[in-house]
Structure 1
Amino acid sequence: MSSEALTTPRPTAGLAPATRGLIYGLIGVIIFGGSLPATRAAVLALDPWFVSSARAVGAALLGMGWLLAQRAPLPSGRDWLGLVVVGLCVVVGFPVLTGLAMQWVPASHGILFVGLIPLATCLVGALLGTVRPRRPFWLWAAVGAVSVAAYAILQGGGDFGPADLLMVGAIAVTGIGYAEGARLSHHMKPAAVISWALVVCLPLSLPALILTWPAAPQTVAVSAWIGLGYVTLFSMFIGFLFWYRGLVLGGTARVSQIQLFQPFIGLGLAAVFLGEQVGWGILIGSVMVTISVAKARRYA
């Protein structure tokens, strides 16, 4: 058995590439759905800057281990800039912005903003020339994104505060990082893309980890360490193995729409593990998102 078979997730052997891409993407979205609840659990007892840097450093060690085990070649000169962009967006930008936002709002509020990520990803993909969907696609993608955004504003009582601005920034940088990562994944292994992106961010994440190390780690609640462990192992590494693979096999426009389900996966996890209240309005939002995803896939 090849070393690639041991390190690349392959739950879809024998299926058409488009179907395989959707399955990979769905697995990635389920993993990412736990990111904000886990982040919320972590920042309730740990400094958000420490959480952001610790998850980046921990995942970078996993990435280095993968690169060494695979004897992965160095990226080409033109790919380094793309890897820096991916790293600054998904390794630094999203964790820092969401970590700060989760100090002020419950995970169930922030989670809904991630429904905007598919639209952001496709917008950037279109600018990069990697996405060329038909016009109705944009209409249905916008309907799904607006449905999620409207629910988020209604849930917040019509307010749009600092935490909401941080979440908008997190969505913007994630769209850039996902689109650039998908572009790189067409000629690099998805695991290599996220691994190198994590490694290139070590000059930022490692000093930040040292500077923000908690004074009394033994007093921190176990739930906070579990949350940190989840975002380190799954959100920052394993999830990307499935996600980038799915974008490559199924197409960025088509697979990215699955991420509209991520808010509702996250809301369920927030309700179960954090005890946060989720109203009936979420059912209406779920129906709207399901319709939007189905229609957008048709035109992607």
Structure 2
Amino acid sequence: MTAENSATSETAIAVTDGSALRPGPRAERGTLLAALGVVAFSLTFPSTVWGLESFGPWSLVAVRSVLAALLAGGCLLALRVPLPERRHRGGLVVVALGVVAGFPLLTTLALETSTTSHAAVVVGLLPLTTAAFSVVRSGSRPSRTFWAAAVAGAAVVIAFTVGQSGGAVSTGDLYLFGALLVCAAGYTEGGRLAREMPGWQVIGWALIGALPVSLAGGAVALSFEPVRLTAHGVIGVVWVALVSTFLGMYVWYRGMAAIGIARASQLQLAQPVLTLVWSVLLLGEHLAPAAPVAAVAVLVCIAVTQRSARPPAAPVTASLPGR
């Protein structure tokens, strides 16, 4: 094998898995983008609670999807982006079902009966579930250290958030666990697609594909659920539509494409703690003294997952994915 082929193979391994990336500008940018996505997502639950002041759960999900689709469609049209290739359309359907429709609807229904702290349990489990999905879908093989840190971080987050809710089982738990599964599938498929097309186009085309259903669902929901516009309600729906659903997903998928699905997913271990902070500041919920301890433990686990490298792999001769 020539030196050129060897270099191409090593780059292909890094792009395919992501966990083997060494520190460098690309990895640093990817980590920053994924972290920005986590910050955007950490405000989703408090914003949803605000949105529910003005809309019913079904109306809220439909309105957020339509608004996000209009923004995405405008960007796609302005830049004259061609339609996605046929081989990408199946993955886009998974993204639409997972992050455009499934996760928003199931978590919104859960938040009608659950507090934001209890709902954060699903976010605590999401990094581990996404990493597991990536193993099945993309064939990545994170190291044992990675998995140990991921499980430890998930355990800390779960213990903290369940403790915050008093250990009670919410009536929305089935919604939350369903949201966990569909979102992990959508994240994994979106991260895979973002290696071959820009991340904003991944979520953009998923939103456009779901637009007919969003419009029809919104028309039906708005005829049954009353609308009472308030300042909080409008701010909430605008945030979840433009930031959580589109802009946040854009930077998140770009980050996943740069550093790998499994590694990027572990940054979300910080999301429940951030959500609880926003809940205190925006919703007036009480923050337990254990929060700083949990935050430090989670950050340690994140540091370990970001530094753990994938075990050496056999040479790969595949070329880089097309850009």
Match of 1:81 among 49, 74, 90: 90
Counterpart of 1:229 in structure 2 is 238
Counterpart of 2:76 in structure 1 is 67
Match of 1:16 among 22, 25, 46: 25
CA deviation map 1:180-212 (0-9, x unaligned): 000001111111100010011112211111111
Distance 1:105 1:188, change over 3 A: same
Match of 2:293 among 279, 284, 297: 284
Structure 1: any 5+ residue segments left out of the alignment? 1-14
Counterpart of 2:257 in structure 1 is 248
Counterpart of 1:111 in structure 2 is 120
Q: Does residue 201 in structure 1 map to residue 240 in structure 2?
A: no
Counterpart of 2:58 in structure 1 is 49
**Residue 298 of structure 1: how far off its partner (Å):** 2.1
Retained in 2: the 8 A contact 1:254–1:296?
A: yes
CA deviation map 1:269-288 (0-9, x unaligned): 11111111111122222122
Counterpart of 1:126 in structure 2 is 135
How many residue pairs are counted as aligned between the two chains?
285
**Residue 46 of structure 1: how far off its partner (Å):** 1.7
Deviates more, 1:265-274 or 1:80-89: 265-274
CA deviation map 1:107-138 (0-9, x unaligned): 23212431222111111111012532112211
TM-score by length of 2: 0.84
Distance 1:78 1:142, change over 3 A: same
Match of 1:272 among 256, 271, 281: 281
Counterpart of 1:10 in structure 2 is none
CA deviation map 1:8-61 (0-9, x unaligned): xxxxxxx61001101111111111111000001111342010011110111011
CA RMSD, Structure 1 to Structure 2 (Å): 1.5
CA distance in 1, matches of 2:39, 2:140: 24
Higher gyration radius (CA):
2
Counterpart of 1:178 in structure 2 is 187
1:107 aligned partner, one-letter code: T
TM-score by length of 1: 0.91
1:75 aligned partner, one-letter code: P
CA distance in 1, matches of 2:202, 2:27: 21
Structure 2: any 5+ residue segments left out of the alignment? 1-23, 310-323
